Structure 1
């Protein structure tokens, strides 16, 4: 019998997850199909109960349900519980278990691009929202020991640092203070929505003081190269967009469901084709 997987969100019509997962199932000769389900916030509990009733094998969770779904799950893994958000659910004999592969997916994509150990990198995270939280927790969990966070509201950055159960040397900074001391960082990670289409000319801060040897990463992938990354590139740094994070969070979810790690190059090619680009 063919297994059923899916993704829930609101909106959901733009999701590229069905394309990458259905191709991976086919490529791995796994009898399964993956579908997008439009679930409004007020129908979330009913949707989860319905998935459980029909025996869905697993599903992804996207905006705005990553936190709201937690009360309707039976268990969560350690990292998802710490982050307080779930993007992947596995059905184990009728028990729904929540995971978060966003942060670990970002870290995996970062490791693929960088040729030196992450734990040695003095890191700056721009933003203190949900994406920043997942990435910060995952980097600290990975053993990165010095990570500062800058945000328009310093209190949000302070809270993010305080809430993390895994300890690192971290400071909360204003955007201005971070821009002033940018040369001190080996790794700069942009986690906000600033620069996302259609507001492609916006940038969270100037990279005037960036270290040319730094690695600059932006989790946005539409456009493929944000104004922030364009400036970083003109200043001579190595850059990375958000496609790697999207692909690896999906690959890790696929592995949780099936025990098989899929072909990420194949996944990346599909995403790039759908975005109409040729770079990553």
Structure 2
């Protein structure tokens, strides 16, 4: 990569950001397409968020990814919101052309799953009711799932999210229940999505939400955790000869969607995946 006077800057804002995998992924993509862009991570204290957005506009920065803790608070400083980002109530991508916010987390998960199966007409069970679950659930609805059930340790949070997704008009009635009742929903499930932090490094030996004896071979099992690559849940899916989808794929495809928003070009997904895998020491 050669930085020139004409180089377009995109980047990541969050607090902290030093462990982000996005810079190597995006910079590999820009290099592969010989684009005059560079991706940089900016550690922005929450108290400085407004001035960071205003400063980025003044500096002609082209776009940002947004990570914790800014995904919700940044919305007040934008001029426009993508419709699904508005429903989700959080933004992870900003395009400074029109100061518009998007959320590519959910589409990232959907595209990861759709490497294996279409979401359309599928019965989907989502574990967790936090930010990742919210982003993914709205996109599962948007992509035509037959049914959606949201399970969470705090049942009230699951019920609230289910109500919000139902009210969006993207899908019919969304069910909710305790995560402890997950066994009641496995027989009819086509896709299981785990958005909980169970199994995330360093807690790699956590008890999975479901074990192999409750999975059939047709079940698609997606775990949003990508460190480790092979989580306890993914190991159970492999043991059951089910269809595992790795969390790294969500990270990859959400990045590819951001890339397209900023540049108007289709992202070189293979190049980005190789860079990600190298960064995560998976190859």
TM-score bracket relative to the smaller structure: over 0.9
Query: What is the aligned partner in structure 2 of residue 212 from structure 1?
Result: 217
Q: Post-superposition shift, 1:19?
A: 0.8
- The DSSP-based 3-state class of the residue aligned with 1:24 is helix
Query: What is the aligned partner in structure 2 of residue 180 from structure 1?
Result: 184
Q: Post-superposition shift, 1:32?
A: 1.3
- The DSSP-based 3-state class of the residue aligned with 1:118 is coil
The answer on whether the counterparts of 2:153 and 2:180 sit within 8 Å (CA) in structure 1 is: no
- What is the TM-score with the length of structure 1 in the denominator? 0.94
Q: Post-superposition shift, 1:14?
A: 0.6
Instruction: Please list the CA deviations of residues 243-264 of structure 1 after superposition, one character each: whole Å capped at 9, or x if unmatched.
Output: 1110110011010111101111
Query: What is the aligned partner in structure 1 of residue 14 from structure 2?
Result: 9
Determine which of 96, 99, 104 is the counterpart of 2:102: 99
- The DSSP-based 3-state class of the residue aligned with 2:125 is strand
Query: What is the aligned partner in structure 2 of residue 122 from structure 1?
Result: 123
Query: What is the aligned partner in structure 2 of residue 231 from structure 1?
Result: 236
Instruction: Please list the CA deviations of residues 187-230 of structure 1 after superposition, one character each: whole Å capped at 9, or x if unmatched.
Output: 10001111100001113523232223211110111000111111
Query: What is the aligned partner in structure 1 of residue 149 from structure 2?
Result: 148
Comparing 261-270 and 168-177, the one that deviates more? 168-177
Query: What is the aligned partner in structure 2 of residue 110 from structure 1?
Result: 113
- The DSSP-based 3-state class of the residue aligned with 2:94 is strand
Instruction: Please list the CA deviations of residues 73-119 of structure 1 after superposition, one character each: whole Å capped at 9, or x if unmatched.
Output: 11111111111110000011xx31101111011111211222xx321
- The DSSP-based 3-state class of the residue aligned with 1:46 is helix
Unaligned runs of 5+ in 1: none
1:55 corresponds to 2:56 = no
The answer on whether the counterparts of 1:179 and 1:205 sit within 8 Å (CA) in structure 2 is: no
- The DSSP-based 3-state class of the residue aligned with 1:119 is coil
Determine which of 244, 247, 251 is the counterpart of 1:242: 247
| CA distance in 2 between partners of 1:40 and 1:234 (Å) | 44
- The DSSP-based 3-state class of the residue aligned with 1:36 is strand
| CA distance in 2 between partners of 1:204 and 1:70 (Å) | 34
- The DSSP-based 3-state class of the residue aligned with 1:277 is coil
- What is the TM-score with the length of structure 2 in the denominator? 0.93
RMSD: 1.2
| CA distance in 1 between partners of 2:231 and 2:280 (Å) | 14
Unaligned runs of 5+ in 2: 1-5
Aligned length: 274
Q: Post-superposition shift, 1:161?
A: 1.2
